[in-house]
Structures are given as C-alpha cells and as structure tokens.
C-alpha cells in the first residue's frame, strides 16, 4: 500500500479500535487457485501475541480453508469509512483555485499467519463471542440458547474456524492532513453537514491534532 508519511497511522490502539468498530474484513489469500478474497466478520483478541490475534469462520463449503496451509501468510483489510471530498469545501480553493477533488478514507492492513481451526469447541466459542458483541445493541439480544440445540449443533458443523496471528499492522488514515488547517476543517464540516460523520469527525480530529488542541 502506498503510504505517504502524513497519512501513516502506527498507534496500535487506534488500529485495533478501527478493527473492533469495523469488523468486516477482507481476507486475502494466495492458494493453488491463485489470489482469493473473502469478506468475513472478525473478532480481535488485542491482548494476544505482539499485535493481536484475529478469529473468523467460513462455510465448510468455502474452499478457502482447504487451500490455506497452517502458517501461510495472509492479509486482512479493514475499512473504517470513506468519502468523496470536493475542492469546493476548501476555503483556499476560492482564493487560489489550486485544489482538486480527492477521496478520504481510513484503512488497516493486518498481515499475519493463518491457522485452520476445524474443531467444534473453537467455532462454538467464536460464534458466541461474535453474537454477544453484535447483539449487544439490540433491545432483546439474541443468544445461541434461543435456538434448538440440535439446530445450533448442525449449523456449527457447517463452519470452519480461521485463526490469524497478526505479525504486522499498517494503518493509513487519509484525512487531508497535508492541507492547511482551515481546509481540513472546512471539508470535515462539509462532510458532517452531508451526514458523512465517520470521515467528517475523523478529519476534524486530525485538524485538532494538527493545531495542537
């Protein structure tokens, strides 16, 4: 990934936070069939290993788990929002007309080593953790015990776990940090006015950091 210094984000706690808040990652693998990409919800154990451990599951019918050899290097891409940025939102544009459109975004690339976990205890525990995390906001959270045990057992047999020891985290938070402070704030406020709060808020936070606030 092309990574200019002004867009690089290396603070592990912020990278982990993005993964937790945006857990649908793209698992990129390279097996006998060539490159493959699977979109999977991940659970992050931030305290495990040097950079954390990611956990996911795939359908047993998905060939990816049979193409991965334990220890294979893989990449998981997490996206934390994106938005088009118009040059009209930069105050300096109206003075110099020396601005162009761009696209801002936040991404984390998690490089790691994969291990297949084809055992019922692992996938049951993983599904329970994912369920607790993503049902927490529901008025009446669904839990595995709400369904008949034989039904849950059959569903668990139809999936296979994947565990990824993260060996390197690369973060790119492209938030117009290379612009003037007033331009970052102008574009951030414009995005928020359009309802693009994730990137708008992130740009305003980047502006505050640039201003030393």
Q: What is the pLDDT of residues 76-110, one digit of tens each?
A: 999 999 999 999 999 997 899 889 999 999 999 99
**If we measure between CA atoms, which residue out of 116, 128, 101, 129 comes closest to residue 70?**
116
What is the model's pTM?
Answer: 0.94
pLDDT of residue 192: 96
Is pLDDT of 182 > 80? yes
- Structure tokens of 105? 């975004």
Mean pLDDT, residues 153-181 taken together: 97
Distances (CA, A) of 130 to 39, 45, 60, 134, 204: 15, 12, 18, 6, 31
pLDDT of residue 97: 87
Q: Residues of the chain with pLDDT > 70: what percent?
A: 100
Q: Any idea what the Cα angle at residue 59 is, between residues 53 and 63, rounded to 5°?
A: 90
What CATH number was assigned to the domain covering residues 5-81+104-177? Answer: 2.30.110.10
Q: How many CB atoms lie within 10 A of CB 204?
A: 19
Q: How many CB atoms lie within 10 A of CB 199?
A: 26
CA distance 73 to 193: 42
Give pLDDT tens digits for 109-146.
Answer: 999 999 999 999 999 999 999 999 999 999 999 999 99
**If we measure between CA atoms, which residue out of 211, 213, 206, 212 comes closest to residue 9?**
206
pLDDT of residue 213: 75
- Structure tokens of 93? 């544009």
Is pLDDT of 198 > 80? yes
Burial of 70 (0-12, 13-18, 19+ CB in 10 A): exposed
Is pLDDT of 191 > 80? yes
Q: How many CB atoms lie within 10 A of CB 26?
A: 14
Distance of CA 213 to the CA centre of its chain: 27
pLDDT of residue 206: 95
pLDDT of residue 31: 87
Is pLDDT of 32 > 90? no
Average pLDDT of the chain is 96
> Domain residues of the chain, as ranges?
5-81+104-177
Beta bridge partners of 99: none
Residue 173: strand, helix, or coil: strand
Mean pLDDT, residues 148-168 taken together: 97
């Amino acid at each position: 990934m092309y990574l200019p210094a002004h867009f690089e984000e290396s603070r592990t706690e912020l990278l982990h936070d993005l993964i937790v808040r945006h857990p649908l990652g793209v698992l990129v693998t390279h097996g006998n069939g060539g490159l493959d990409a699977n979109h999977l919800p991940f659970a992050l154990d931030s305290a495990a290993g040097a950079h954390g451990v990611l956990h996911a599951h795939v359908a047993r019918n998905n060939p990816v788990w049979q193409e991965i050899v334990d220890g294979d290097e893989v990449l998981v891409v997490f996206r934390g929002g994106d938005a088009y940025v118009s040059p009209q939102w930069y105050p300096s544009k109206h003075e110099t007309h020396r601005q162009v459109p761009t696209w801002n975004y936040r991404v984390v690339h998690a490089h790691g080593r994969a291990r297949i976990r084809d055992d019922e205890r692992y996938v049951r525990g993983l599904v329970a953790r994912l369920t607790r995390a993503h049902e927490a906001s529901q008025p009446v959270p669904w839990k595995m015990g709400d369904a008949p045990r034989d039904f849950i057992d059959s569903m668990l047999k139809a999936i296979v776990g994947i565990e990824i020891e993260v060996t390197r985290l690369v973060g790119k938070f492209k938030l117009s940090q290379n612009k003037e402070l007033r331009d970052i704030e102008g574009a951030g406020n414009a995005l928020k006015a359009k309802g693009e709060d994730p990137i708008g808020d992130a740009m305003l936070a980047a502006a505050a950091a640039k201003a030393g606030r």
